[in-house]
């Protein structure tokens, strides 16, 4: 039943009398707002300022401890309420149990550094009767939420440090079997012996794993991207059988190439080809985890390409005494045009020795 204005004012007045000694000015503002008037004056309600200061060390520790305790106990709602993004945290914590198949988790906080608290995770995975312990380290940060209260700053990496926005932890069959890379004779190559092949092998697996025959997928816990692709394997519950990808690499030449580039102080790269078949026999570059100077160098080949151009000139019928124009930007037979590094180089005459035959390029 609607309450008349007079009755409402009487109720509020009673409440106001009880609150006056406690809340003072704040109670007057509440009264004015509920009564629907300005009390005969111009006083307006004053909002309590939101605390935006960094949380204190005690707040950091207590908030982190409460969050980890709730998470470990299976209280997803309680843990999510202690974050600054309740809905997103709820979805992430739920997926951690249902899609990653984590049946229990023990969380041990470490020593806080400012607002960051590291912690260790000892989880139990259970996928179709396969039980396995899984341990790793993660971290969380305590900040203030929109109301100014200390809260865990939610990020997917709280669950597992490799997770980014849109990622999900999944436990189940891997998207594709693991792949062994073999040399031209079918023998498995150990990337530890050939460091330059680390990124090359990864690229080969990414390109061809899905189309290989043979091999069975392992049961893994892995990071799944928003597109449904497997981004990174984190833990193997049960090994599969590897598929095999045969390459044209020659292990003897590959070892020699690795040795040659590693001896160079500056960046270096080498690619060995079978000129009759086009097979790549070796690929090596230094440093092995930097730019691929063997096949992906952003710079033009420069003077090292003079051997190729001189050979082409000789094959075309020119002799060591024949002049050949090398105008900057020329593009013969729809190939790749190369330009001089500067106008000053346009008239330089280059001499190249190929099998003791000197071919002259006249600018």
Cβ 124 vs Cβ 131: under 8 Å: yes
Whether residue 101 sits in one domain with residue 178: no
Give residues with Cβ within 8 angstroms of 115, minimum separation 6: 54, 55, 60, 141, 142, 143
Cβ 122 vs Cβ 105: under 8 Å: yes
Residue where a domain terminates, one of 113, 129, 161: 161
Cβ 156 vs Cβ 248: under 8 Å: no
User: Distance between CA atoms of 90 and 67, rounded to whole angstroms?
Assistant: 12
Whether residue 194 sits in one domain with residue 109: no
Whether residue 67 sits in one domain with residue 10: no
- Does any domain span residue 354? yes
- Does any domain span residue 169? no
Cβ 361 vs Cβ 347: under 8 Å: no
Task: Give the chain's domain count.
Answer: 4
Closest by Cα among 225, 122, 206, 113 to 165: 225
User: Distance between CA atoms of 159 and 97, rounded to whole angstroms?
Assistant: 11
Structure tokens of 77? 């709602």
Whether residue 352 sits in one domain with residue 249: no
Whether residue 261 sits in one domain with residue 344: no
| pLDDT tens by residue, 284-295 | 998 887 788 888
Whether residue 94 sits in one domain with residue 141: yes
Q: What is the CATH number of the domain that holds 144?
A: 3.10.450.50
User: Distance between CA atoms of 77 and 159, rounded to whole angstroms?
Assistant: 15
Can you give the residue range of the structural domain that contains 345? 300-363
- Does any domain span residue 168? no
Whether residue 325 sits in one domain with residue 360: yes
Which pairing describes strands 150-152 and 268-273: parallel, antiparallel, or unpaired?
unpaired
Q: Which helix (H) or strand (E) holds 21?
A: helix 5-23
pLDDT of residue 297: 76
| pLDDT tens by residue, 167-185 | 999 999 998 888 999 999 9
Over its length of 363 residues, how does the chain's per-residue pLDDT go in tens digits?
444 444 433 433 333 334 334 333 333 333 334 444 444 444 555 677 889 899 999 999 999 999 999 999 999 999 999 999 999 999 999 999 999 999 999 999 999 999 999 999 999 999 999 999 999 999 999 999 999 999 999 999 999 999 999 999 999 999 888 899 999 999 999 989 999 999 899 889 888 888 888 889 899 999 999 999 899 999 999 999 999 999 999 999 999 999 999 998 888 888 999 988 989 999 999 888 778 888 887 776 666 677 777 888 888 888 888 877 667 777 766 776 766 665 544 433 333 333 323 333 333
pLDDT of residue 343: 53
Structure tokens of 78? 């309680």
- Does any domain span residue 167? no
């Amino acid at each position: 039943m609607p309450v008349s204005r007079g009755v409402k004012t009487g109720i509020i007045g009673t409440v106001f009398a009880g609150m006056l000694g406690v809340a003072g000015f704040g109670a007057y503002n509440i009264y004015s707002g509920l009564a629907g008037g300005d009390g005969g004056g111009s006083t307006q309600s004053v909002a309590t300022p939101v605390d935006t200061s960094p949380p204190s060390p005690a707040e950091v520790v207590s908030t982190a401890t409460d969050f980890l305790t709730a998470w470990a106990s299976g209280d997803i709602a309680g843990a999510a309420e202690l974050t600054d993004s309740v809905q997103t945290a709820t979805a992430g914590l739920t997926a951690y149990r249902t899609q990653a198949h984590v049946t229990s988790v023990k969380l041990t906080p470490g020593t806080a550094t400012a607002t960051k608290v590291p912690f260790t995770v000892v989880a139990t995975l259970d996928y179709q009767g396969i039980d396995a312990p899984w341990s790793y380290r993660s971290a969380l940060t305590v900040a203030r939420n929109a109301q100014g209260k200390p809260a865990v700053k939610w990020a997917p990496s709280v669950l597992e440090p490799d997770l980014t926005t849109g990622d999900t932890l999944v436990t189940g069959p891997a998207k594709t079997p693991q792949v062994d890379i073999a040399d031209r004779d079918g023998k498995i190559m150990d990337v530890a012996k050939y460091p330059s092949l680390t990124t090359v092998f990864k690229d080969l697996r990414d390109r061809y794993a899905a189309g290989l025959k043979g091999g069975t997928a392992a049961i893994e816990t892995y990071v799944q991207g928003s597109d449904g692709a497997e981004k990174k394997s984190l833990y193997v519950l049960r090994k599969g059988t590897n598929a095999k990808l045969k390459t044209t690499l020659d292990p003897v030449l590959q070892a020699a190439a690795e040795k040659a580039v590693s001896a160079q102080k500056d960046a270096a790269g080498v690619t060995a080809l079978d000129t009759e078949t086009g097979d790549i026999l070796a690929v090596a570059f230094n440093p092995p985890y930097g730019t691929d100077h063997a096949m992906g160098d952003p710079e033009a080949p420069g003077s090292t390409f003079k051997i190729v151009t001189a050979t082409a000139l000789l094959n075309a019928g020119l002799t060591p005494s024949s002049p050949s124009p090398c105008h900057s930007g020329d593009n013969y037979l729809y190939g790749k045009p190369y330009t001089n590094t500067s106008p000053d180089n346009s008239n330089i005459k280059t001499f190249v020795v190929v099998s003791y035959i000197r071919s002259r390029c006249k600018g």
